[in-house]
Structure 1
Amino acid sequence: MKPKKRLVEPFYFPGNSLGCLLIHGFSGSPSEMRYLGEQLSGLGWTVLGIRLAGHGSTPEQMAKTRWEDWVRDAEAGVKELRKSCSRVIGIGLSMGGLLVLHLATLDLIDGIVSMNSPMLLADRRTRYVRLIRPFRKFVAKPNSRTNGQIVPEESKSTQQKPERFVYDKIPVDSLISLNKAIGKVRRELKRIKCPALLMQSRKDFTVDPISVQLISKNINARKSEVLFWEHSGHILTLGPERDEVVRKVDGFLQEFNNFNPEI
């Protein structure tokens, strides 16, 4: 199934001097972050939602990309926001959260919102994917409950069914690269000193919920908060608690602004 153009397009909404860099997850697309981005824009924040290399097209295109490509995209997003914003907050879902954590280890951003970021994947088979590399180029998405690419995400809080574009198969080489990146970022968490809001869904069947505890324990942020979501799955930004997620992120941004007045 071909993606709908709006689902996979990056987005930019100008606002105040605090920029929000929104980064989607592994094998996903900007559609995962658009609802959050639109809501934050309506609250006055500047928002940039990027599309990572190889995403929002075909699994075959993604197979040509690696962690280093996605890092370059994330760094380019920070640079773009710096053109109009004095400070940048990284907001990432899943691998997008891992990228946000990585940016923070390099002191490239001023604060982080990490959502279901992986320190440990729930499906143990992903740890041994290297063993099947000689035999297969793609694997079915772990815990996938869809057979297509355009997925309706139902929300109990609204009658809307926002759509999400995601691959239903994953390139083995890209997954191997992600596994390496998880270990790399985990070893560097101690370098993170900026304010952090760490979120984890209880019903996450992609990322082991222990991940958020590992992040919280190892970062050296001058201020951090951990929030668990009882009713949401892995795609926290489109789940039944998405509106409360928006409020919590907005609260974090407001608090950041209050304690970090512009010079």
Structure 2
Amino acid sequence: MIGCLCIHGFTGSPDEVAPLAEYLRKRTDWMIKTPTLPGHGEELRLKGITYDQWFQAAERELQALMAECETVYVIGFSMGGVIAVYLAEKYRIDKLVLLSAAFYYVNPIQLWRDILDMFRNGWRRIGEHPLFIRYKNKMRSTPIAAVLEFRKLVNEVRPRLPYVHVPVLIVQGEKDGIVPPKSAHYLYQKIGSSKKKLLFLPESYHHVCHSADRHLLFAEVEKFLWENGND
């Protein structure tokens, strides 16, 4: 059996990766998991949460998936992409997909602007969409200490990049105002994988699974994961 772990971003929830997860569920018989990291979800409770708790939660989910599946893929969005690299360096996974991976720090003000622009260009009734509501609330619910924990997490993972050798697809939205394109280039240059692909999406913002290029993204991720004859 094939398993796929999808990890959301900082102050986010599984909704951030849900469109891709649902696409894969409809087109495969894989076991696909979209866990919620500690302190995250519908209501943020980040006070007192440390970055190692995010690592540990992701590890538990991966270990459970590996216990049931012979082949395991990890997909990480934003901070989830950083956590995915941590897992790929520590565990024997088969493929890695990094979406808007936040190896350069998120700017909270730009996050809000990016969300607004994304919805103006692609969604109607912005005030009713769950992503808009969540990010409106998160601007008031993210303690500075949590931001510092996020930065510690990135600093912990960066030195591990050369030791990751799993095939990797690195995805970056060209309209991403939160994680700059240099983060994707940095990843491509530093990661130790001999099989690596860099995919830029010209019409996508930070939340690539919800942006205008999402159908191209889904098809490219599916193609990458099926390459080399997976059963």
Q: What is the TM-score with the length of structure 2 in the denominator?
A: 0.87
Task: Identify which of 91, 107, 110 aligns with 1:143.
Answer: 110
How far off its partner does 1:122 sit?
5.7
In 1: Cα distance, 2:106 partner to 2:180 partner: 5
Contact 2:73/2:95 (8 A) holds in 1: yes
1:118 partner amino acid: A
Considering fraction of residues, name the structure with more helix: 2
Find the partner of 1:53 among 38, 41, 51: 38
How many Å separate the matches in 1 of 2:39 and 2:216?
31
Q: Which residue of 2 aligns with 1:21?
A: 5
If each structure's strand is expressed as a fraction of its own residues, which one has the higher value?
1
Corresponding residue for residue 245 of structure 1: 217
Q: Percent identity?
A: 27
From 174, 186, 194, the counterpart of 1:222: 194
Report if aligned partners of 2:111, 2:177 keep a CA contact under 8 Å in 1.
no
> Is the CA contact 2:100–2:206 (under 8 Å) kept in the aligned structure 1?
yes
Confirm or deny that 1:168 pairs with 2:139: yes
Matched, 1:77 2:61: yes
**8 Å Cα contact 1:23/1:97 also seen in 2:** yes
Runs of 4+ off more than 3 Å: 152-156, 158-163
Secondary structure of 1:232's counterpart equals: coil
Alignment check: 8 A CA contact 1:88 1:110 kept: yes
Match of 1:208 in 2: 180
1:189 aligns with 2:166: no
Range with greater deviation from structure 2 (92-101 or 214-223): 214-223
Give 2:63's aligned amino acid. Answer: K
Matched, 1:37 2:21: yes
Residues 153 and 163 of structure 1 are in contact (CA less than 8 Å); yes or no, is this contact kept in structure 2?
Answer: no
In structure 2, stretches of 5+ residues that fail to align are none
Q: What's the CA shift string for 1:187-215, capped at 9, x where partnerless?
A: 11001000000011111111121011111
CA RMSD for the aligned pairs? 2.4
Does the CA-based 8 Å contact 2:84-2:96 persist in structure 1?
yes
Shift of 1:163: 3.2
The answer (yes or no) to whether the contact 1:78–1:109 under 8 Å persists in 2 is: no
CA contact (8 A) 1:62 1:171 kept: yes
Segments of structure 1 that go 5 or more residues without pairing to the other structure are: 1-16, 124-140, 147-151
Shift, 1:57, TM fit: 4.2
Residues 78-108 of structure 1, C-alpha deviations (whole Å, 9 max, x = no match): 1221232111111011001111011111134
Residue 50 of structure 1: SS of its match in structure 2?
coil
Distance 1:205 1:159, change over 3 A: closer
